[in-house]
Amino acid sequence: MAGVSYYAAAAAGTGRPSVVQFGAAPNRSRWVSRTRLRRRNAGGRFGLDSNSELQVEEVDVKPSSGSMVEIELVATNTGSNLALHWGALQPGRSEWVVPPAGIRLPEGTIRTPDDAALRTPFKNSGSNSTLKIEIDNQGLESIEFVIVDEAQNKWFKNNGQNFQVHMRPPAGHHHQGQQHSATAGSIGRKNRDVMQLLSKNASTNDQVNKAAEATPSKCTVLDLFIKSLQEKHGSQVLCKKVFKLGEKEILALMSQVQGSTKVHLATDHVEPLILHWALAQKPGEWKAPPPGIVPAGSTLLEIACESPFSDAELNGLHYQVLEIELDDDSYKGMPFVLRSNQTWIKNSTSDFYLDFSRRTAKSSEVTLPFSFSPILAKNLLQKSSQNPMLIFFPCIKGTSDDSKGTAKALLERIADLEEDAQRSLMHRFNIAADLVDQAKDAGQLGLAGLLVWMKFMATRQLIWNKNYNVKPREISQAQDRFTDNLQSLYKMYPQHREMLRMIMYTVGRGGQGDVGQRIRDEILVIQRNNNCMGGMMEEWHQKLHNNTSPDDVVICQALMDYMNSDLDIKVYWDTLNKNGITKERLLSYDHPIHSEPNLKSEQKEGLLHDLTNYMRSLKAVHSGADLESAIGTCTGYTSESQGFMVGVEVNPVKGLPSGFPELLKFVLDHIEDKSVESLVEGLLEARAALRPLLLSSTERLKDLIFLDIALDSTVRTAIERSFENLNNASSEKIMYFISLVVENLALSTDDNENLLCCLKGWNHALEMSKHSDDQWALYAKAFLDRTRLALATKGEEYHDILQPSAEYLGSLLGIEQWTVNIFTEEIIRSGSAASLSLLLNRLDPVLRNVANLGSWQIISPVDVAGYVVVVDQLLTVQHKSYDKPTILVVEGVKGEEEIPDGVVAVLTPDMPDVLSHVSVRARNSKVLFATCFDPKILSELEQNEGKVLSLKPASVDISYREIPESELLVSSSIDTVDGQKAPSLSLAKKQFLGKYAISAEEFSDEMVGAKSRNIAYLNGKVPSWVSVPTSVALPFGTFETVLSDKINKEVSQKVKILTEKLDQGELGALSEIRNVLLNLTAPTYLVSELKEKMQSSGMPWPGDEGEQRWEQAWTAIKKVLASKWNERAYLSTRKVKLDHSNLSMAVLVQQIVSADYAFVIHTTNPSSGERSEIYAEVVKGLGETLVGAYPGRAMSFVCSKNNLESPKVLGYPSKPIGLFIQKSIIFRSDSNGEDLEGYAGAGLYDSVPMDKEEQVVLDYTTDPLVTDCSFRTSTLSSIARAGYDIEQLYGGSPQDIEGVVKDGKIYIVQTRPQIGGEELEVDELLDLQQLRRHILDHLRVYLVVVGVVVEVRRDGCVVGDTTHAAAAPLDCSPNIPILSSPAAARLGSHPAAALGGEAGCESSSRDAVH
C-alpha cells in the first residue's frame, strides 16, 4: 500500500450543511490533534461500533497513473444507506478543501450546499457496503471523512475524531528526527536526536587480542596435570576425555612415552575415590584386566578391577590420580564407574568410557571416528600420511598457528565435551552454561568460541540427540540456565553485548516450569481433539516426547502449509527441504518419522487452529527471534491462547515505556503488509523505545533482549520482502529505506557512532533531494561510500574475531570444510548488513548517473596494454616483480602500497585518495591507476584473467579490447634496449657538520632535506594571510653521531649485528633494528643545543613541562630516525638498487597547528594533467588521515587558476575518522632521498607527533565545510589561492603542497615539486622525442650543470649527486628548475621532467650549460 498512511484526526473543517441538524455532527473546530486508530488486524480494519467495522481493503498508488491514489472502503454489518462525508487537506492548511475540478469523483458524489465537502454513497453488497475512490494526490496531503447512515441520522466517527487517510509524500521525507503523526497505517516516530542511540562500548581488535594475551584462561589442576605429563615426562597424548562429576571433573587420558602406553586418570574430586574398571575389545564389553597390569592396592573381580586413587598436589592444588600401564594394544577402550564410600558415580545414567580408537594407528590403515563425514574422512586420510596425529587428536597440529587468534583452551575444552553434548540438547545447553565463566575469562575471543559452537549446533553441523530420552521441560530449563548466564554477562560487560546477542539468537529463550513441558502435553491435546492418533502425527508425537528440537518448528510449519494448500504433499516437502530437513534427517531421529501426513479435509480447520497456537509453544522454547512469542513473553499472552500455554507465566514485564504495548500491537497488526514501510517504522520505533531498558539492569532483562532480537530480525525479513516493490522506486524511496536499515544496524551494534553519523548523513541527503539541491547526489554518494566502508570494516571485524575460532573448532569437531569456509559470511548474511549492501548497490548507479560521475575515477591516466592478473590485496604483491606487462585487477588498495615492478595498470573497486602514496607512485611511474564503481565492469575485467588487453582511459571511463600478444610485444619493445640494464641510483652520504640542532636560517642541502629547505624558503615570502610554522631541525649526521657515542655503545653493537643479518636477506631484522634504536640515549650536548634552538626560535621546550615530556619528545625523534628501517622504505631502496647505508635522515621540528582542516594541493591537476587547473583534497582535522592509509575519501575539488573564487567540488568526504591534537610538537622525517629522481622518498618515512592524536568519528552534517555553501566556497578558494601563490614563488613550477586551516587562516607545512606535473604540447612532445632518441643512442650521457653532475639513463631518468652552485642567489628557490633543452626551457622544467621523470632537482642555480 505504497504512498498512503491512515490517520484519525479532529476535523479541520467539515462543510456540513447548516440547514440539516444531525445528532452527532463532525467537529468543525480547527485541527487539534491526531490520535491512533485501533487497527484490529492487518488489512486496515477500524471499529465503528460493537457490530460493524470499517476496512480499508486496498490502498495503492497506481503505477500507470503517476500520483493517482486508489482507496477502497468496506463497511461490514451496516445499514443500506451509508454515505462518505469527506474533504481534503492541503499541506500547511487546516481547513477542508474540495478536490479541484478535473478529478474523477465516484459515481453519485455531490457537493454539500456550502460547497465545503463532498457526499458519496456506498454501494450495497449483502450486509456490507463498499466504496472506491480514485484521487490525484498532487497538492493534497490527506483526505478526512466521517461515515453517515442517512436513514438513521447516525454519524460514525473514531472515538469522537474524524477518520483521515494521509496521502504520504515520498518516503524519504519521513526520516529520523521528524515528528510523525500517530496513525493506524503509519506509526508516529518520536522526534529524537539519533545520537541518543549512541553506544561506544565495543572492544577494538587490538584490545581483544591484548585482553586475550594479558588475561589467560585460568588453569585448572587437570590442565596442570596434562602439562606436567608432556613437559616432565615427555609423554605424547594419544587421546583424552573429560567427564563432569557434578561441579568437579575427571580426566581420562592415554599417553605414550618410550614405547610404553599408559592410561592416566586425574580428578579434582575432594572425597576419596575407587575406580571400578575393566578393558574392552568390543563395544559394551567389560573384561577384567590381566593381573600383571593392575596398580598396587587393586582388587581383581570377576569381570572388573577396583583400584584406589592416590592423593597428589600441583602448584598447591590438590587432586587424585591413578596410572595404569597397558600390556597390549588390542584393547578398544576402558569402561569404568567410580565409587565414593558407598555411593556409585556414573556418567549420568551410563558408564564412563575412554575410547582408545582415537589413538595413533601403527599401521597404514586408519580408523576414523564415526562422527566424521565421508568427505572429511577422505580428506583427513589423505593428510594422515604426513601427520597421522591430525586425525585422532586434532589439537596436535603440524603447526602451532592453527589456534592463533582463538581462545584455544576453551575450544579444546568444548571439543572434549562434545561427545557428551551430543546426547541431547539438554546436555549441550547445560555444558554451555558451565563454560560461560571460562569464556568470560577469555574475553571476546572466548565468547566468539561459544558463538561458533552454538552456530555449528544451530545449523545442524553437530548431533542434537543420540540415544537419550529427555523431556522438553528439561531442555527448556537447560536453555534457561544458559541464557540466564549470558544475561548476567550482558549486564556486566557492555562491550560484549553484540556478541552475546548473537549467541542468544542461535540458542532460543528457553524457560522454567511449564513452558517446555507444554510441547509434550499439547501435542496429545491436538491429536485427541482432531482424531489423528496414528501415522505421521504419532511418529512426530514420539519424537517430541523423546527429544524436541528446533526442527519441530519447521515440521509444524510444513504441516500448516500442507493443510493451507488443500493437503498438497509436495508443499509439505518443499517447506521441509527449504529449511534443511530431508527424508534422511527425519529418519535419523531416535524416534524416526517414516510416514508422510495423510490427513482429511474435515480435519483441516481444527488442526490449523490448534497447530497455529502450538507453534507458539515451540517458538517460545526454540526460537531466539520469533516476534509473536517474544512480544507475548514481555506483554502477556492474549485470550486467543487459552487452551494453550495454560499455566505459563504471562505477566507483562514491569516498567515498559508508555504506549509500548500498543506500539507492539501495531507491529503485529501490520506484520504481513505488502508495503512494509509503516511496519519497519513501527519496528524501529519499538527498538528505540526499548533501548534504555536494554542498557540498564532491568528485571527480566533477558526477555527484553529476546524481544529486541526478534524486532531486529523482523526488520530484516520485512526489508527483504520489499525488494521487489523497490525495483522501480525513486531514489528518495531507496535512500529512505537505506536510512531505516542503517538505523536498525546501529541499534544492534556495540560501537555504533559511525553508523549513526551515516544515518544523519542519509537524512540530510534526503532533505537536500527534497529541496532539489543540485549537490544532493554527490553528497549522497559520499555517504553511500562511507556506509559501504562501515559494512566492510564490520565484516573484517567479524572475520578477525570469528573465523579463526570457526576454523580451529571446526577442525577439532570434524566440521566439513565448506561450512567452515563460509562461517563468517553466513553470520553477516543473517543480519541487516546484507540487506543494506543490496540497497546500496541499487542506489549507487543512480547517484553516479545524476552526479555525472561515470563508472570510473581515473587517478593516473595512461594508455597501456598487458596481461590481466587478478589479486586480492595490492599489499600482498607490492614487492613482487612481474616479468611481462601486467594489468592488476585488485580487490583492496589501502593507499600506502608500492606499485610492483612490471605492472602497467592497477584497477580496483577500492577508493584510495587521489593524492595518496600509491596514487602518486602510479603517476610517477606512468602506471594507469583507476577506481571502478561498477561491479559488472570489474567482473568482466576479472573474467579476462590471463588475456592481453589494451586499456584507453577517458575522463570518466576506460575502454578496453583484447589484443594479440604480438601487438603487445611490439608496443613493449619501443622503450627497451635489449641486453642492457639501467644503472643503479646513487646517493651521496651526508656528513655530520658539527651541529646537533639548527635554526631555519641555517638550512642547506648539506644539512637538511628538501622538505626543510622548502619551508625555510617560503618563510617571509608567502602572502600575509598565509603562515608558515616556525621550524628547527636535527641535521644530517646527527643520528650516526649519537649512535657512535660511547653512551650508546651497546645499542650500536646490536645494530651492527642486525645490519649484517639484513645484508644477508633476513628482513625480520628490520623490526629488531627499529626496536633496538628506541633504546638510544640522547647526549647532553644534543639536548642542550636543541633546547637553545627551539627556545630562540620561539618554540616551547618540552622539558620545561617536566622530564617526562622531554622523554616523550626524544622517543618521537627516535621513531623518526628508526623509520629508515621500515619495511616499505627499505624494500623501495632495494627496488631501485639504492645503497641503503647512504640514506641520511634529518628531523624537521615544528609546532603543531591544531587544525580544523588539513589539505594537500597539486597545482597541476594530476588526473587530467591540466596545467591551468588546481586540484586539492581536504580532510577534517590533521592531515595524517589524508597522506596516511586511512580509509575513505577526502573532499576533493578543482579550481581554475583564472577564476580562483569558484572552486568546483568533485566529491564530498567519506572518511569516518578525523585526527585531532592540542598543543604539541611534531618531528618530521626529512631524508636526502626526499625528492631523489627515480626514488622519491617523500612519504616513505615517518613523521611522529610528541603526543598521541585523538581519533574522532566525524559527523559531516554539522561541518560547515560540507553544509554551508558560502563557508565552503570561501575556504576552498583560500586554499586554491595559496597553492597558486606558492607555485608562482617557484617560477610556475607545479607544486605538491601540504597545509592546514585553523580559524580560517591558512598554514603551509611543506611543499615539494609535483610529481608528473607537466602537460606537454604537440611540438614539445616532438622535441622531446628527438631528445629521447639521442639519449637512447648513447649508453651514458652526462650533463654538466653549474656544480651539478647528472647521469641520464636509457629510460630517461636523471640520477646522480647534486650540489648547490656557489654563486646561487640567497633568495632562489631550491625547486626552480634548471635549463636542459628547448622543450624543457619553454616549459620551465628540468631534464627529469623533459624526459618523463618527476621534478625535484635540488640545485638552486637557474643557469645551466650542456
As a whole number of angstroms, the distance between CA 996 and CA 1326 comes to: 50
DSSP H stretches of helix in 1045-1194: 1049-1063, 1069-1077, 1084-1096, 1107-1122, 1127-1135, 1184-1187
Of 436, 617, 599, nearest in space to 513 by CA: 617
Eight-class DSSP state of 899: P
Give me the catalytic one of 174, 175, 269, 917. Answer: 917
How far is 217 from 215, CA to CA, in rounded Å?
6
State phi, psi for 1376 to the nearest 5 degrees.
-65, 125
The DSSP secondary structure of 766-835, one letter per residue, reads HHHHHTT-TTHHHHHHHHHHHHHHHHHHHHHHHHHHHHHHHHHHHHHHT--HHHHHTHHHHHHHTSHHHH
- Are 1167 and 861 in contact by the 8 Å Cβ rule? The answer is yes
Residue 211 in grid coordinates:
585482553
10 Å Cβ neighbour count for 1049? 11
Q: Is the dihedral of CA 1389, 1390, 1396, 1402 positive or negative?
A: negative
- Asked whether the beta carbons of 462 and 511 are under 8 A apart, the reply is no
- The Cα 463–Cα 456 span in angstroms is 10
State how beta strands 901-908 and 881-892 pair.
Answer: parallel
Contacts of 978 (CB under 8 A, 6+ apart): none
C-alpha cell at 120: 458519496
Helical residues (DSSP H) of 670-752, grouped into ranges: 677-694, 701-722, 731-747
**Which DSSP helix (H) or strand (E) runs through 1368?**
none
Q: HEC profile for 25-59?
A: CCCCCCCCCEECCCECCCCCEEECCCCCEEEEEEE
Partners of 56 in the beta sheet? 73
97 DSSP 8-state letter: B
Find out whether 1275 and 1157 touch, Cβ atoms under 8 Å.
yes
CA atoms of 1034 and 1090, how far apart (whole Å): 8
Hey, what's the torsion of the CAs at 710, 712, 718, 722, to 10 degrees? -170
Q: What share of the chain is helix, strand, coil (3-state, %, to 5)?
A: 40, 20, 40
Half-sphere exposure of 275 (CA within 13 A, CB side): 32
1334 is catalytic: no
Residue with cell 594422515: 384
Judge contact between 200 and 751, C-beta under 8 A.
Answer: yes
- Give Cβ neighbours of residue 969 (< 8 Å, ≥ 6 apart): none
304 three-class SS: coil
**CA-based nearest residue to 389, from 816, 812, 805, 810:** 812
Quote the CA–CA distance of 570 and 579 in Å, as a whole number: 14
- List Cβ neighbours of 1223 (8 Å cut-off, separation of 6 or more): 1100, 1151, 1152, 1154
Grid coordinates standing for 865? 596494454
Q: How do beta strands 333-340 and 352-355 pair?
A: antiparallel
Catalytic residue positions, numbered: 917
